[in-house]
């Protein structure tokens, strides 16, 4: 309690620049923690939805049934389900135009899935740039507050005839609070950024693997000479 009170007292007696820096860092830290928790729940949801769809995909359900279910569940489905739906939609559109060349059909489905993959990845990566910015900028903002506070403290000491540790320490301590809060804001943001970047890479690899496997299924169905749309896998 005494330490908390002393920090508050130091901030109350600090210059307005240091107070502004600390306020900015506190706001950045709060926003960073909010982004961390939002991203944590969002990534867990993405993994769960992808796992559920992949389980259904390999359960033997026909592609037509999966496509119909994906269209009905477009808003609540996961990235993998939407990528599948976009690939199937393009495949069916090309067949409706009486395009029978297997290469053209596969290329169209792959392009549609690749475009959908990029959109999904952009959505999944949202807020990562903010965490990276907080993690990289906060220490420098805190350091700026510290340097300014030290300059302010020494300026105040210039008019004193006798300078002791008791007169120097409070001003230095006020300034160092800004650096401490800058590190407090930066460290969780950097840790979360690294963790979520790894998780997103795993999700992206899983989506790319699924796209290749789905393309292989379409290729086999075309090679087998199936009718309008592939019905099984």
pTM: 0.81
Task: List the chain domain ranges.
Answer: 2-223
pLDDT at 160: 64
* 48-102 residue pLDDT tens: 999 999 999 999 888 889 999 998 887 888 999 999 999 999 999 998 888 778 8
Token pair, residue 66, equals: 């999966």
User: Which 3 state secondary structure label does DSSP give 78?
Assistant: coil
Residue of 204, 212, 203, 222 whose CA lies nearest to 87:
212
User: Which 3 state secondary structure label does DSSP give 227?
Assistant: coil
User: Which 3 state secondary structure label does DSSP give 223?
Assistant: helix
- 104 φ, ψ to 5°? -65, -40
Can you tell me the distance from the alpha carbon of 74 to that of 231, in angstroms, rounded to the nearest whole number? 20
pLDDT at 1: 40
* 191-232 residue pLDDT tens: 999 999 999 999 999 999 999 999 999 888 877 655 445 555
């Amino acid at each position: 309690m005494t330490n908390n009170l002393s920090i508050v007292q130091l901030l109350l007696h600090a210059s307005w620049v240091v107070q502004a820096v600390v306020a900015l860092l506190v706001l950045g830290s709060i926003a960073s923690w909010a982004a961390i928790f939002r991203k944590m729940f969002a990534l867990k949801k993405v993994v769960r939805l992808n796992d559920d769809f992949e389980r259904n995909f390999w359960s033997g359900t026909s592609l037509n049934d999966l496509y119909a279910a994906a269209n009905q569940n477009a808003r609540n489905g996961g990235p993998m389900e939407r990528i599948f739906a976009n690939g199937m939609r393009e495949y069916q559109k090309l067949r409706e135009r009486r395009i029978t060349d297997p290469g053209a059909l596969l290329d169209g489905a792959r392009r549609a899935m690749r475009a959908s993959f990029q959109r999904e990845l952009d959505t999944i990566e949202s807020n990562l740039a903010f965490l990276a910015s907080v993690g990289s900028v906060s220490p420098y903002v805190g350091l700026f507050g510290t340097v300014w506070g030290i300059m302010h403290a020494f300026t105040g000491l210039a008019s004193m005839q006798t300078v002791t540790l008791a007169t120097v320490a409070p001003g230095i301590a006020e300034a160092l609070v800004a650096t401490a809060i800058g590190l407090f804001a930066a460290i969780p943001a950097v840790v979360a950024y690294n963790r979520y970047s790894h998780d997103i890479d795993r999700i992206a690899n899983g989506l790319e693997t699924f796209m290749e496997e789905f393309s292989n299924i379409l290729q086999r169905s075309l090679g087998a000479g199936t009718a309008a749309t592939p019905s099984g896998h």
